[in-house]
Amino acid sequence: MAIKKLRPVTPGQRFRIAPTFSEITSDQPEKSLLVTKKKSGGRNNQGRRTMRYIGGGHKQKVRAIDFQRAHYDVPATVKAIEYDPTRTARVALIVYADGAKAYILAPEGLAAGQTVISGTAVAPELGNALPLKSIPLGTIVHNIELKPGKGGAMARSAGSYGQLVAREGKYATIKLPSGEMRSVLVECMATVGTVSNGTHMNESLGKAGRNRWLGRRPRVRGVAMNPVDHPMGGGEGRASGGHPRSRNGQISKGKKTRSPKKYSNGLIISKRKK
C-alpha cells in the first residue's frame, strides 16, 4: 500500500500525492452487496439546508460491510481486495464455504486466496475475528465492538488499530494510537491486524476540484463572514473575531465540550495525549 508523487505536468498534479492501488485485485464489485448512496446536498426532508459545505460529487455505491462477523466457524476465502469510494480503507470480498458472500474491512497484509474465519475459539491470525477473551495479550486488533453483538465500531478507518494490553474480570484494556486506554467487555469481538491503506494520511488531493469530486464544497472561515452570519464575523479590517467558537457560539480550542455525564466516561482509563 504505497503512494506516488506525480510529475507536475499540470498545475493540479504539482502537489498531488496519490495512492498506487497496487494491492487492489478487482475493479468489479459484487453487485449483490451494493447499495446506491443517496446524496442530500446537506438538505433535510423539507428541502432546507441543515449542513453547510456539502453538495455535488461523483455518484457512489455503498459496499455493505459485515462489521459483526457473525458467520461463526465457517471458513471463508478472500476472493478479491477492492477499492471502496465511501471509506478510506480497502475492503475484502470473502466467500464462505457455504456459498455466502460478504465484504469485510481488509487488514494490512491480507491477500486474495487467503482464508479467514470468525468464532469463539479460532486461531488469532490475520483477518480472523474472535472475542477479546480469546486473543493473546499484546495482539494488534481492529474493528473492535463496544457492545457484544452490535458489530465493530472502533478502529475502522485506514491505518487504525488498537492493542490488547490487559484483561481483568469482565473487561479488557485496549490501548489506542492516541494514547487513550479504554475498557471493553471481553465478550466483544475484534479482528486481528491493522486496517489497510495506512499511507492514506500522506495523500494530497492536489487541487480544489478533487475535493468537489468527493462532494465537499469550499469551507468559509467564520472571521470572513458578517456578524449576522457568525459570532466571529465583522469588525474593521482583519479583526480576529474574539475567542474561537462555532457558528452556534460553542467555544472551541481549549474548552472541554465532552459531557461529564457521558456513559463511556467510566470506561476510559486514561485520556488521549494532548
pLDDT digits (tens, 9 = 90+) for 25-79: 999 999 999 999 999 999 999 999 999 999 999 999 999 999 999 999 999 999 9
**Domain 3-201: assigned CATH number:** 2.40.50.140
pLDDT digits (tens, 9 = 90+) for 151-207: 999 999 999 999 999 999 999 999 999 999 999 999 999 999 999 999 999 999 999
- pLDDT higher at 100 or 272: 100
Q: In the 3-class helix/strand/coil scheme, how is 35-92 assigned residue by residue?
A: EECCCCCCECCCCCECCCCECCCCCCEEECECCCCCCCCCCEEEEEEECCCCCCCCEE
- Sorted by where each begins, the domain ranges of the chain are 3-201
Please, how many CA atoms are within 13 Å of residue 249, restricted to the half-sphere of its CB? 2
